[in-house]
Amino acid sequence: MLNLSKEAIQMLEQVIYLPMVLQILQNDCRAFEQGAFKLKQPYLKLIDQTIKYVQKELTDAKKYLRQNQLQVFRGERDDLFSEYIFIRKRTQDSRRYSNIRLRNHVEDLLSYYLAKAQEISHCEH
């Protein structure tokens, strides 16, 4: 069993959640590009800004993991749970996350990052 700090767990979980957020944003971007929207540009700009912000956060989280000799791998998955394996040096800890919890948290993060990107966009004007 790993004895991880709250910050370490937070960073490990960022490396789990943020790629999911990016995937959703990239899918949504394609949907807006292909959709029959009259004014696509504001949506695409917001999504692009959000993607950049999430990518930076993910880069920072991965850097933290490297500096602290931490790794995370996806384990087994079924209809209800997804397993993730946290590793520090040669010690590992397996954690199971409810798929519903993962989805709900990713949705919360998506709302958060869209709002953050909108704030950044307003500051640039």
Average pLDDT, integer, range 46-72:
96
Does residue 99 register a pLDDT over 90? yes
Does residue 2 register a pLDDT over 80? no
Nearest to 51 by CA among 7, 124, 43: 43
**Would you say 28 and 50 are in contact if contact means Cβ atoms under 8 Å apart?**
no
Does residue 57 register a pLDDT over 80? yes
The chain-wide mean pLDDT, for the chain, equals: 93
pTM for the structure as a whole: 0.90
User: Alpha-carbon distance 81 to 54, whole Å?
Assistant: 25
Does residue 122 register a pLDDT over 70? no
